[in-house]
């Protein structure tokens, strides 16, 4: 199968899975990345380059800290002061 055809099929699969939401979004993303590596469309470095980006790590860290601030009630206290 041509790489472009395979990629488009995986894209359609990902869209359907994202809309359907029976499988977590992260799992769907990993399935697509692994499928692209197994089929030879991408190598491992190319397939997972987006997960290693420093901006992605920064956003994940911000969500963790933000969640902790809301769980502890500190966000409400700071919001009350402002």
pLDDT over 90 at 51, yes or no: no
Can you read off the two tokens belonging to residue 9?
Answer: 């099929």
pLDDT in tens, 9-43: 999 999 999 999 999 998 999 999 999 999 999 99
- Mean residue pLDDT of the chain comes to 92
Q: Quickly count: other Cβ atoms within 10 Å of residue 36's Cβ.
A: 20
Q: Where are the alpha helices (DSSP H) in the chain?
A: 3-20, 25-38, 44-47, 49-52, 54-72, 74-81
Confidence of residue 49 (pLDDT cuts 50, 70, 90): confident
* pTM reported for the whole predicted model: 0.66
pLDDT in tens, 3-12: 999 999 999 9
């Amino acid at each position: 199968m041509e790489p472009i055809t395979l990629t488009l099929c995986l894209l359609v699969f990902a869209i359907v899975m994202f809309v359907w939401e029976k499988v977590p979004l992260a799992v769907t993303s990993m399935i697509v990345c692994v499928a692209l590596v197994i089929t030879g469309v991408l190598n491992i470095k190319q397939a997972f380059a987006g997960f290693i980006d420093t901006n992605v790590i920064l956003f994940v860290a911000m969500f963790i800290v933000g969640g902790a601030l809301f769980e502890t009630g500190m966000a409400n206290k700071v919001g009350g002061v402002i």
